[in-house]
Amino acid sequence: MMINGLIPPELHAQLLDLQNYQRRTSGVEQLKHILLELDLQQVSSGSVLEFIQFLRRLLDDSNFKVLCGALQLISLLIQKLEGDVERYYEEIVSVTARALGDSRSVTRHEYMNVFRQLMRMVGPQKVLDLLVAQLKHRNSRVREDVINIITAAVLTHPRKDFDIPGLCAEAAPALADSKKKVRHAALELFAVFDCCLDTGKKQPLMKAVDRVELAGDAEGLMAAVQARRARHVLPRLSPDGTVEYALALPRPGQRRTPQLGSGADLDWVLNGGRGHSSRSDVDLTDNTPQQRRMVSAGKGKNKLPWERSALSEELQTNGKTPDQVHQNLCCLHAGLAGLWVDCAAAGVWTRIQTFSKRPVPLSLRKVCSRRVGFCRAALSEPSPSRLTPHLRARSCCPRTR
């Protein structure tokens, strides 16, 4: 369908020729020249909206030159609309957002240029209010791009132009994102938010972080944000508008060095709260809860040495007859000389004797009570005939100091 007053019918057909990408790229260049010479005051509002939606189709083109040309057409349209751009900025943001997530620097530069122009003409908060919905996009590159757009905007425009508490609440879930690059971008953004909020007025930032930490499995997030704030250095914008992070990460395969630094923020970006580095030297985590101990699905995998011994004996005795059980001697060693347990399940007899003046550790007493507590059911010793020669000798001749 031809757009009245904007695109001639033959050019419209050329731009939609999916069989020949060269005709499409040539058509995009022709459309740029037409738009430069066009007086949009003579074009109806409906035709402008149709043109914006037509550019959406060009942004979906598989050819790189057509995609970049479409973004350049959007920038040119914003310049031509001038004061009237506020009537169409919502549609323009919606269409341009389709290009987010592209890994090519040229494409990224083009759509950043579109958003910069819109923010300068209609205000940054209006544009960001539309973009924050993309923070829930399933593509992590899109989420990362949106965070960087917010960072670039806050670094460029006065803080009075933004709703910082609202942006904190919207962007906070990205701090606990499953992707390392998104967490990295979000930490840099919150360092900028922290700078925008005056001393004593940082409650919106802290509440947003605390809400994310409590709502999900994000233990250690607050410590990471505090560590990033403690660095007192902000990201900056390159001449082409790209955000350059202040927190440097080691490259894949590169060992962490003193030059790269350490801290809870770096650990959070690299591990996402799944681990804790003992090399962290930022003293901001004293009042934060320790990392949860992860329970393994394997039996006895995370047990202490004496617990593993007891569990191993317990597994070996299950399902055996009394004649087989009485041959299994359960010895629990806790690192204390003289602590031993003799257990013969056939006669349900146990003897525990210590030859150390130090008390038995509470953890070991619990283990003994749990693992061999069944032995306390009977008070009489077993018949010597049911014991092995080794046990018979030990029962008759108790160990002395």
pLDDT of 285 above 70 = no
Asked if pLDDT for residue 26 goes beyond 80, the answer is: yes
* pLDDT at 146 (0 to 100): 98
Q: Is the pLDDT of residue 385 over 80?
A: no
Res. 150: pLDDT tops 50: yes
Q: Are 219 and 273 in contact (CB under 8 A)?
A: yes
Tell me the β-bridge partners of 352.
Answer: 341
Tell me the average pLDDT across 55-67. Answer: 93
In this prediction, residue 40 has a pLDDT band, given cuts at 50, 70 and 90, of confident
Domain ranges of the chain: 1-122, 129-250+258-276, 305-396
Which pLDDT value is given to residue 27? 94
The per-residue pLDDT for range 231-247, each reduced to its tens digit, is 999 999 998 889 999 99
What is each CA distance from 143 to 102, 133, 188, in whole angstroms? Answer: 11, 9, 14
pTM exceeds 0.75 for this model: no
Please determine, for residue 44, whether its predicted confidence score (pLDDT) is greater than 60. yes
Q: How far, in Å, CA of 152 to CA of 239, rounded?
A: 12
CA distance 27 to 6: 13
What is the fold of 129-250+258-276? Leucine-rich Repeat Variant (1.25.10)
Residue 9: the pLDDT is 86
Query: What does the pLDDT average to over 374-382?
Result: 42
Whether 129-250+258-276 and 1-122 are alike in CATH topology: the answer is yes
What's the mean pLDDT in 165-186?
96
The percent of residues above 90 in pLDDT, for the chain, comes to 53
Confidence of residue 300 (pLDDT cuts 50, 70, 90): very low
Return the sign of the alpha-carbon dihedral for residues 170, 173, 178, 184: positive
69: confidence class by pLDDT, cuts 50, 70, 90: very high
Confidence of residue 273 (pLDDT cuts 50, 70, 90): low
Residue type at 78 in one-letter notation: I
Q: In the prediction, which pLDDT does 278 show?
A: 32
- Which pLDDT value is given to residue 266? 92
| Angle at the Cα of 287 from the Cα atoms of 283 and 289, rounded to 5 degrees | 110
- Give residue-wise pLDDT tens across range 188-213: 999 999 999 998 899 999 999 999 99
At 225, the pLDDT band (50, 70, 90 cuts) reads: very high
Domain spanning 1-122: CATH superfamily: Leucine-rich Repeat Variant (1.25.10.10)
User: If you average pLDDT over residues 6-18, what whole number do you get?
Assistant: 88
Q: Which tens digit of pLDDT belongs to each residue from 81-107?
A: 988 999 999 999 999 999 999 989 999
pLDDT score at 57: 92
Q: What is the mean pLDDT of residues 362-385?
A: 45
CA 282 – CA 265 distance, rounded (Å)? 9
**Per-residue confidence (pLDDT) for residue 82, from 0 to 100:** 86
Per-residue pLDDT, 115 = 97
Percent of the chain whose pLDDT exceeds 70: 64
